[in-house]
Amino acid sequence: MRGRMEQLEKLKRIAQGKDELEEALNRALDIIEACDDIESIGKARISVLGKKGIIARVFKKIKDAPEDERPILGQFGNLLKRVAEEELDLKEKWLKAALQEKKLSEMAIDVTLPGRGRSLGRRHILSITISEITSIFISLGYRVVYGPEVELDYYNFEALNTPAYHPARSLQDTFYLKRKDPIKDSREDVLLRTHTSPVQVRVMESTKPPLYVISPGKAYRRDEIDATHSAVFHQVEGFAVDRHISMGDLKGTLEAFAKKLFGEERKVRFRPHFFPFTEPSAEVDVSCFACDTAGCSLCKGVGWLEIMGCGMIDPNVFSYVGYDPEEYQGFAFGMGVERIAMMKHGIDDMRLFYENDVRFLRQFHI
């Protein structure tokens, strides 16, 4: 086949001087030229090559034309048809390629864009604090034991020497799940443990001394929730039972612990206190981090911060578990995890621990 340009030149030559043919050629070329998408190609095919299109009208003229013009009309019509088909096909191909190119460039992935960040989870500050506390005691030879959170009155109160009608046993302070008598305490009442101390009784009841045990876990109290109270909170309980255990062992152990946890420069003091299950009992304070006993706003002018309760296990508790107090002695201690984490990290509102605000949580690294 001859080249496009040559064919076009030939068409122009044939049409030259014949207004109708020149007009038909120009209109056909203009229509094809104006096509700018696949849809307009379809329309152009109809108006140029269709039954009532420009070329069809050229052929129609043949029968009325003078004899000598007929072959020219025929030749022109045939050539215009071939040229128009070729031009439309070419244009269609070109438009399809352009469309494809556009689609591909839209789908393309920009490999220079920064990737999407993935945030790593990390341990909760309360879990970290529990680990720090327990690992100090593990290094002293203690083992970790867990007790149930749904507990019997017997373990939570009675065997811990907490008498009936003790204020802690009141309906205002304790979540009871099953209460035998609404007025009278019963050792079979079922409750959410109000402290981790019942683990002492459970372990002693089933195991012979020597015992060196640490027991972290949740405890529950019917407290209004505020900056320093929560209905669910965490404690770490600890106790030791052995022969020849004295108050000196208790003081040495807890002093070593407090300095490991809060820093060797801290001073530790023991203040007499009362707990039903220990005798004598004490509260342990560390010197205030901010003022080192001088008194400031952090320690409310006291100079010291209370970190836990402790004491020598009351012989009455031993009698519940069948230990002979003449043979064995023991000490026990219990601390609030939230309180310790708040002091260590300067947190002033306990609710922050439970609100799951990552801006708070992510400050604490493992």
Minimum distance from residue 342 beta carbon to ligand DAH (Å): 16
Minimum CB separation of residue 242 from ligand DAH in Å reads: 16
Asked whether 279 and 341 are in contact (CB, 8 A), the reply is no
Identify residues 181-240 at the interface with ligand DAH (CB under 6 A): 195, 197, 237
Beta strand ranges found along 74-124 (DSSP E)? none
Nearer to ligand DAH, 86 or 306 (CB): 306
- At closest approach, how far in Å is the CB of 185 from ligand DAH? 18
Q: Is 30 exposed, middle or buried (0-12, 13-18, 19+ CB in 10 A)?
A: exposed
With respect to ligand DAH, which residue has the nearer C-beta, 77 or 334?
Answer: 334
Binding letters toward ligand DAH, positions 25-54, x by CB under 6 A: ------------------------------
CB nearer to ligand DAH: pick between 38 and 225: 225
Among 129, 278, 287, 329, interactor with ligand DAH by CB under 6 A? 278
CA 279 remoteness from chain centre: 46
* 177 alpha-carbon distance from chain centroid: 32
CB closer to ligand DAH out of 140 and 296? 140
Contacts of 281 (CB under 8 A, 6+ apart): 272, 273, 274, 275, 309, 310, 311
CA-CA-CA-CA dihedral for 68, 74, 76, 77, to nearest 10 = 150
User: Cα(331)–Cα(142) distance, rounded to whole angstroms?
Assistant: 13
339 part of the interface to ligand DAH, by CB under 6 A? no
Q: Which stretch binds ligand DAH (CB under 6 A): 66-74, 147-155, 176-184, 304-312?
A: 304-312
* Tokens (6 digits) for 225: 């929730």
Taking CB under 6 A as the binding criterion, the range among 48-56, 141-149, 170-178, 331-339 that sits at the site for ligand DAH is: 331-339
CA distances from 236 to 126, 249, 334 (A): 11, 19, 6
**The binder of ligand DAH chosen from 309, 328, 341, 353 (CB under 6 A):** 309
Cα angle 86, 87, 88 (rounded to 5 degrees) comes to 95
Q: Which is nearer to ligand DAH, 26 or 170 (CB)?
A: 170
- Other Cβ atoms less than 10 A from the Cβ of 268: the count is 18
Tokens read off for 66 = 């003078």
Per CB under 6 A, the list member of 77, 198, 276, 334 interacting with ligand DAH is: 334
For ligand DAH, which stretch binds (CB under 6 A), given 242-250, 326-334, 342-350, 352-360?
A: 326-334
Q: Which of 233, 275, 318, 328 binds ligand DAH (CB under 6 A)?
A: 275
Residue 260 backbone dihedrals phi, psi, to 5 degrees: -65, -40
Whole-angstrom distance, CA of residue 339 vs CA of residue 285: 13
Distance CA 320, CA 276 (A): 14
Using an 8 Å Cβ cutoff, are 279 and 290 in contact? no
Interacting stretch for ligand DAH, rule CB under 6 A, among 133-141, 254-262, 296-304, 332-340? Answer: 332-340
Note whether 311 binds ligand DAH by CB under 6 A: yes
Residue (88 or 342) nearer to ligand DAH, CB: 342
Which residues lie near ligand DAH (CB under 6 A)?
195, 197, 237, 275, 278, 309-311, 332-334
